[in-house]
Amino acid sequence: MVATEQVLATGQQLDTLCINTIRTLAIDAVQQANSGHPGAPMALAPVAYCLWQQFLRYDPADPTWLNRDRFVLSNGHASMLLYAMLHLAEVRQVDDKGHVTNELSVPMEEIKRFRQLGSRTPGHPESHITSGVETTTGPLGQGVGNSLGMAIAGKWQAANFNRPGLEIFDFNVYAMCSDGDLMEGVGSEAASLAAHLKLSNLCWIYDNNHITLDGPASWSFSEDVATRFIGYGWNVTRVGDGNDLDMLARAFEVFQKTTDRPTLIIVDTHIGYGSPHKQDTNAAHGEPLGEEEVKLVKRFYHWPEDAKFLVPDGVREHFREGIGMRGAELHGKWSKTFAEYSQKYPELAEQLSLMQHHELPSGWDKNLPTFPADAKGIATRESSGKVLNAVAQNIPWMIGGSADLATSNKTTLKFPGTGDFEAGSYGGRNLHFGVREHAMGASVNGMTISGLRAFGATFFNFSDYMRASIRLAALMQLPALFIFTHDSIGVGEDGPTHQPIEQLASLRAMPNLIVLRPGDANEVTEAWRIIAKQQHSPVALVLTRQNLPTLDRSKYAPASGVAKGAYMLADAEGGKPQVILLGTGSEVSLCIDAYEKLKADGIKARVVSMPSWEIFERQDAAYKESVLPSDVTARVSVEMAATFGWERYTGSKGRNIGMRRFGASAPLKDLLKYFGFTVDKVVEEARAAIADK
């Protein structure tokens, strides 16, 4: 390796030396991995350097500091930019219990293991793996959507926790984004809502590099981004040369002085060398440069051509004197304020501690409703709305709303003091997302990352619009809550465009997502007990539009069985059934009616309510065998959805009553008869299953 003195002898200023260190670390990591995107980190290095060194209120010694500024790399393919910053700033790793360690989050050996199995430097940043990565990014548009939620959380926390002379929350959220982030619909939705809410703590940094993975951006993208964002209501400023640190600093200063709207900083960059005169084809298309090109690039940077993973003397020290020292001072000053705050407002300080660790306050489950037996019953969306209000009253940091369907979803918080979260009045707990399912899902994740117990709601069919956000919540191990109503052909006359079919099977296939489809009002209450306790898994709560009978729990098993995912709701005398009927949601009561008819006919049946496959699968083998004994092969599943997956529980000899096509537009009673969701059909299939065993 060439001596460090030779690097310093080129006469580069320290800023340039640091910027080129970021660039060459990215180049070397991508080249060694033979995989990745070197161009964006090369071009954006000055932008990240200026932000982190001069403006980001962040303490590398404690990446869990409550009032830290958030940095989101929405263009997650530029992951080496973030890894290089985390390494050079010497950000510490946080252990599984939330304790900050002395270990570096991204030591040099992890940069050398870029994109390798088990490393902390995967191809796109993952927040549950690498401390300092605020959110998992990669699918374009999701990061800026998360940043919207973080900014909402910041405003809400400031409105609810700050006290005169004791400002605990005033952090800013910076999101670096690309053409792709702004092309994706979720980016447009997030930008629109951020402007509507006048989130002045939100800054997007747009890498205007005129290139996409396919080639020139002009092939597919020719809009005037500045005019578009001005139309939304953003403050827009432009940096004509992404290498100009003075211009970049002025742009960040403009953002910090803007108090009535979010800010977009358009930064003109050039993929590759970072020079207006140089653009590398491989860098532009997300490929390693190749050994010869690496040498040419390093020569352009006046860098030792054969040096790999070089951090020259003075670079780490410069970061320590910049973001390290500034962050420590800001954090120290805040800690003194927080100590005084904790003495004056111990209850609020305790709430903040619980929020940060996704823990619950004592008494969170007091006064949860129980529902009396009622043959007419109540829709689970209705009962859920009642339970939600009870839970939210006990968890003061529960906040959420619906994509323009709060009245239908029954998700409005109605107890005293809730209010609406709106521009200039950020203390309310009811959010109005508008018809923006994409942005709702992404911002719910951002709020959850920030410690709130956030929820978003819409019709189940439109979960498809939110799928990327649900998936990332599961990947990040976030306890986000997605409430879905109108869960089946029970939607009725609205027809197949609004009747979900494949969504249950699809979401059940997603790792680390809990799907809950309760069968009556008391199962809803028990479902909420599960939801509130989650710390590392998101939940999809799936609810009916139509009324369901509230089962008589003095006659049937208690709803507390929901805690195990599936339970025996009704059983044959002596516990030796000839046939097992399995149902979820609205079909549980149908199974009960069929059970009673079979019983009257002398046929021994068992009804298993199965609100959550995922939780049932976590139970031990003995419990699962007690619910679904292997020697009872006559089984019938009943669910108003695609039957895909039910064979896991019904077996090769089982019968599955479900949907094998899209629905239809008609009154519910006609649909139930047409598609075979009747007592007679269930009895018929049960008899057939017994005969086939």
**CA–CA separation, 605 and 39 (whole Å):** 65
CA trace torsion 147, 149, 154, 159 (10° rounding)? 150
Pairing verdict, β 398-402 and 92-94: unpaired
Pairing verdict, β 579-583 and 605-609: parallel
According to the 3-state scheme, what is the secondary structure of 592-619?
HHHHHHHHHCCCCEEEEECCCHHHHHCC
Please, is 258 exposed, middle or buried when counting C-beta atoms within 10 Å of its C-beta (0-12, 13-18, 19+)?
A: middle
Q: Which residues of 666-683 are buried (b: 16+ CB within 10 A; e: fewer)?
A: eebeebbeebebbbebbb
For the four alpha carbons of 61, 64, 69 and 71, in that order, the dihedral sign comes to positive
**CA–CA separation, 143 and 633 (whole Å):** 48
What the block records as the tokens of 629 is: 């004994």
HSE-CB for 566 with a 13 A CA cutoff = 25
Alpha helices in 79-202 (DSSP H): 79-88, 108-112, 142-161, 179-183, 185-196
Residues classed as catalytic: 437
Phi–psi pair at 286, nearest 5 degrees: 75, 45
**CA–CA separation, 289 and 36 (whole Å):** 10
| Tokens 């303490």 sit on residue | 59
Beta bridge partners of 92: 104
Phi–psi pair at 102, nearest 5 degrees: -85, -5
Identify which of 142, 21, 34, 192 has the alpha carbon closest to the alpha carbon of residue 465: 142
Identify which of 579, 560, 557, 561 has the alpha carbon closest to the alpha carbon of residue 634: 579
**CA–CA separation, 214 and 211 (whole Å):** 8
**CB-based contacts of 296, cutoff 8 Å, min separation 6:** none
